[in-house]
Chain A
């Protein structure tokens, strides 16, 4: 069983529709640890030792957050700055995270079409997530494509629920190691694979 750590960063969960729904769907999974960063560290005083221990005891790390200004909310950046220490996560002797998998679970107001070179945002999602990819690579982790929920402004409740189910399904399949790593690395979004593997399972 692969162990999964979800690091969740949302400063105003009260206002969120999508993330609230996602969280509702992922409860009760024994191999998943859920850390609500804004609830744990409302003063931004991150407990570095505790966070490092959590990383060590999991195989797959998920950064779950809304996309604000083409990046994560401030506390997740603070978490990166403090927890990924030199000599531990990176650097000559920093191999603590070596071989672990990491990816983002993100929501964006803009739709998928907006994130094209010719689209409204003039760049692709992998380009926007480049800082996360570099961070993962520098820490000797495998960076996987995101689980991405685009166009959140337009989603209705049923559509959001569907994403919630997909998210739960993803966590389960990652837990039993049911996804082909080569497929994952080539995918545009990890969401795409879930339907494939779902059909495979049946």
Chain B
């Protein structure tokens, strides 16, 4: 590989690693961190990267394709249906109204209507990443403000698809960027076909994606999952997206649209979380690179000349977006305080704007000058979000506040279950059935694809995936859960998973299954407090029933079994501390002897009388002596 690749990678990665944590720390969010990193390494500050920024951007756009796949994956039809009113009503009207008003403003700034419309659409969008993170940090996702914001963001995510389709029609500039666009659509299979045949092929391919996604991909993933090779699963996840992207390019459609569709088709599959966690890091990294490239491509000559315009745009934008949202919140009967929270949280422009800017530059919709200015406007509006929200909290809310911490009815979408059960074999499924019988919602994870299928058939929400992976646990809602039950079969995987949970989700109570006492020692040494040997209770139940059939009193046998467990566990705690095998043998022998002695004497007590409770012999003796004296 050539030298320049490594040095470019070095610059990008170093910039990201330095800037992103700093930006996050100061409350600006990761998107701004990447942008700032881009600005710093760009031609106007340090000049590490110059023109190749554009090429990198084309490459990094693949991150956008992945992002749309993930958005599609998140769109479960049930969820959409549940939120249909607020998504279509609130979200739809927000996008349409804001687009119209901003387009009007843009025309005042002397843009032609096509450009004004494009700007309106781009700037109507808000930042999913910033808003969801802010709201969930403040614990507001379940309030009506959080729910409304979520619906609007969901609609915006979907609205990007028709926007991408619409932009080529708005092209007014015959720019030199055409070759970039041509480069994408170099030669397609459908070139030279008549329009009706073209349309037919496109429809056919889309139908094929849906059919293949529904019928073929799931069995295919199942087979791959069975090989138990994680990297092959990752490879096939990437293959799906790359394949779709190539296919879409070949028929002249946007790859983003195709992968979005593929995501929706797979949204209900049991591999959803696994796919998500496999694609997530690639998407994150590529989008990061993309944002850096955006930062690097901002033309600061233009920006410094036009700073008045920029300030004016930011002010107009914030005002228009928040007023439209306030109005809609009022119409949709969001209470006053919630409405302010909702409206001001969505005032910024989203990260999709950068994607759409670069797309509209390629398509000749907007000029390079406009996109430079607007990129700065968007970045500033994002940076202002924490300030706007703080101003709302400090200045406006105290005046309108009814301070409702409202809980809406149970149809929360982002409500994650309090219990996660990893491993849904005989052990885990018994726990699952018990919890389900008592209406305790739980998320189930399992690594056996056949079993996942069978259980989904029975109506359990089981997800396929390796529960020792941090990403999968994250996707399963481990950060919101309270308890994680580790019921997986393999002792090694259990220990791996314990390490993951300890590291990333230290707040979770871990209840761990243990195969036998040696396994339980390992778990004790791993610091586990709740350990359940899988055969202990059952074997002792057999013992109790055996004693009962031999004529012992049932209650007595029960108590003896409880005592046995008590001694055994105390003994285990002692033995688990011994690492040296020789010492272990000696100590274990001693303990077993001691235990048998204790149990023996205990049994004597319970059966034959003595100083345990219930008719103690000592009391009888005393009573006899006393009454003899009295007589």
Binding site for B on A (CB under 8 A): 11-16, 38-39, 42-43, 66, 68, 73, 109-111, 151, 153-154
Q: Are B627 and A15 touching (Cβ within 8 A)?
A: no
Q: Roughly how many angstroms separate A16 CA and B608 CA in the complex, as a whole number?
A: 10
Q: Are A13 and B623 touching (Cβ within 8 A)?
A: no
**B 534-557 contacts with A by CB, 8 A:** 553-557
SS class, residues of chain B in contact with chain A: helix
Q: Roughly how many angstroms separate A73 CA and B619 CA in the complex, as a whole number?
A: 17
Nearest CB on A from B624, distance (A)? 5
Task: Using A38-B553, A68-B614, A111-B627 as known contacts, say yes or no to A14 and B619 having CB atoms under 8 A apart.
Answer: no
Nearest CB on A from B601, distance (A)? 15
Q: Roughly how many angstroms separate A15 CA and B555 CA in the complex, as a whole number?
A: 13
Q: Roughly how many angstroms separate A39 CA and B556 CA in the complex, as a whole number?
A: 9
Q: Are B553 and A39 touching (Cβ within 8 A)?
A: yes
Task: Using A15-B608, A15-B609, A42-B558 as known contacts, say yes or no to A154 and B627 having CB atoms under 8 A apart.
Answer: yes
Q: Roughly how many angstroms separate A120 CA and B553 CA in the complex, as a whole number?
A: 34
- Residues in B with CB closer than 8 Å to A151 are 627
- Residues in B with CB closer than 8 Å to A109 are 619-620, 623
Nearest CB on A from B146, distance (A)? 44
* Residue B606 CB within 8 A of the other chain: yes
Nearest CB on A from B212, distance (A)? 54
Nearest CB on A from B231, distance (A)? 50
Q: Are B620 and A153 touching (Cβ within 8 A)?
A: yes
Q: Roughly how many angstroms separate A12 CA and B624 CA in the complex, as a whole number?
A: 21
Q: Are A38 and B606 touching (Cβ within 8 A)?
A: no
Q: Are A13 and B553 touching (Cβ within 8 A)?
A: yes
Partner of B556, one of A14, A16, A66, A153: A14
Q: Are B553 and A14 touching (Cβ within 8 A)?
A: yes
Q: Are A39 and B623 touching (Cβ within 8 A)?
A: no
Q: Which residue of B lies closest to A113 (CB)?
A: B630
Q: Roughly how many angstroms separate A10 CA and B485 CA in the complex, as a whole number?
A: 39
- Nearest 4 A/B pairs, CB to CB: A42-B554, A12-B614, A42-B555, A38-B555
**B 543-591 contacts with A by CB, 8 A:** 553-558
- Residues in A with CB closer than 8 Å to B620 are 109, 153
Q: Roughly how many angstroms separate A92 CA and B607 CA in the complex, as a whole number?
A: 46
- Residues in B with CB closer than 8 Å to A154 are 623-624, 627
Q: Which residue of A lies closest to B552 (CB)?
A: A14
Q: Roughly how many angstroms separate A14 CA and B603 CA in the complex, as a whole number?
A: 11
Q: Roughly how many angstroms separate A11 CA and B606 CA in the complex, as a whole number?
A: 10
- Residues in B with CB closer than 8 Å to A66 are 614-615
Q: Which residue of A lies closest to B623 (CB)?
A: A153
26 A–B contacts from the bound complex (CB under 8 Å): A11-B555, A11-B614, A12-B606, A12-B614, A12-B615, A14-B606, A14-B607, A15-B607, A15-B608, A15-B609, A15-B614, A16-B615, A38-B553, A38-B554, A38-B555, A39-B553, A39-B554, A42-B554, A42-B555, A43-B558, A66-B614, A109-B619, A109-B620, A109-B623, A110-B623, A154-B627
- Residues in A with CB closer than 8 Å to B623 are 109-110, 153-154
Interface size class of B (residues with CB under 8 A): 10 to 19
- Residues in A with CB closer than 8 Å to B619 are 109
Q: Roughly how many angstroms separate A43 CA and B606 CA in the complex, as a whole number?
A: 17
**Interface readout for B210-230 with A: 1 if CB under 8 Å, 0 if not?**
000000000000000000000
Q: Roughly how many angstroms separate A38 CA and B557 CA in the complex, as a whole number?
A: 11
Q: Roughly how many angstroms separate A15 CA and B608 CA in the complex, as a whole number?
A: 6
- Residues in A with CB closer than 8 Å to B555 are 11, 38-39, 42
Nearest CB on A from B252, distance (A)? 70
Nearest CB on A from B139, distance (A)? 41
Q: Roughly how many angstroms separate A110 CA and B627 CA in the complex, as a whole number?
A: 9
Nearest CB on B from A46, distance (A)? 13
Q: Roughly how many angstroms separate A11 CA and B615 CA in the complex, as a whole number?
A: 10
- Residues in A with CB closer than 8 Å to B556 are 12, 14
Nearest CB on A from B603, distance (A)? 10
Q: Which of A14, A16, A39 has the most CB of B within 10 A?
A: A14
- Residues in B with CB closer than 8 Å to A39 are 553-555
Nearest CB on A from B225, distance (A)? 42
Nearest CB on B from A76, distance (A)? 13
Nearest CB on B from A31, distance (A)? 26
- Residues in A with CB closer than 8 Å to B614 are 11-12, 15, 66, 68, 73
Q: Which residue of A lies closest to B557 (CB)?
A: A42
**Interface readout for B583-613 with A: 1 if CB under 8 Å, 0 if not?**
0000000000000000000000011110000
Q: Which residue of B lies closest to A37 (CB)?
A: B555
Nearest CB on B from A24, distance (A)? 15
Q: Which residue of B lies closest to A12 (CB)?
A: B614
Nearest CB on A from B623, distance (A)? 4
- Residues in B with CB closer than 8 Å to A73 are 614
Task: Using A12-B614, A16-B615 as known contacts, say yes or no to A153 and B624 having CB atoms under 8 A apart.
Answer: yes
Nearest CB on B from A39, distance (A)? 5
- Residues in A with CB closer than 8 Å to B607 are 14-15
**Interface readout for B306-334 with A: 1 if CB under 8 Å, 0 if not?**
00000000000000000000000000000
Q: Roughly how many angstroms separate A39 CA and B549 CA in the complex, as a whole number?
A: 12
Given contacts A14-B556, A14-B606, A39-B554, 6 further A-B contacts (CB under 8 A): A12-B606, A14-B608, A16-B615, A38-B555, A39-B555, A42-B557
Q: Which residue of B lies closest to A38 (CB)?
A: B555
Q: Which residue of A lies closest to B621 (CB)?
A: A153
Q: Roughly how many angstroms separate A66 CA and B614 CA in the complex, as a whole number?
A: 9
Q: Roughly how many angstroms separate A157 CA and B609 CA in the complex, as a whole number?
A: 18
Q: Roughly how many angstroms separate A110 CA and B623 CA in the complex, as a whole number?
A: 8
**B 476-506 contacts with A by CB, 8 A:** none
Nearest CB on A from B552, distance (A)? 8
Q: Roughly how many angstroms separate A163 CA and B361 CA in the complex, as a whole number?
A: 107
Q: Which residue of A lies closest to B614 (CB)?
A: A12
Q: Which residue of B lies closest to A151 (CB)?
A: B627
- Residues in A with CB closer than 8 Å to B609 are 15
- Residues in A with CB closer than 8 Å to B554 are 38-39, 42
Nearest CB on A from B630, distance (A)? 8
Q: Which of A16, A109, A151 has the most CB of B within 10 A?
A: A109
Q: Which of B554, B555, B606, B608 has the most CB of A within 10 A?
A: B555
Q: Roughly how many angstroms separate A157 CA and B160 CA in the complex, as a whole number?
A: 95
Q: Which residue of A lies closest to B610 (CB)?
A: A15
Q: Which residue of B lies closest to A40 (CB)?
A: B554
Q: Roughly how many angstroms separate A31 CA and B601 CA in the complex, as a whole number?
A: 42
Nearest CB on B from A153, distance (A)? 4
- Residues in A with CB closer than 8 Å to B606 are 12, 14
Q: Which residue of B lies closest to A14 (CB)?
A: B607
- Residues in B with CB closer than 8 Å to A16 are 615
- Residues in B with CB closer than 8 Å to A43 are 558
Nearest CB on A from B621, distance (A)? 8
Nearest CB on A from B62, distance (A)? 61
Q: Are A15 and B615 touching (Cβ within 8 A)?
A: yes
Q: Roughly how many angstroms separate A42 CA and B553 CA in the complex, as a whole number?
A: 9
Q: Roughly how many angstroms separate A154 CA and B615 CA in the complex, as a whole number?
A: 13
- Residues in B with CB closer than 8 Å to A153 are 620, 623-624, 627
- Residues in A with CB closer than 8 Å to B624 are 153-154
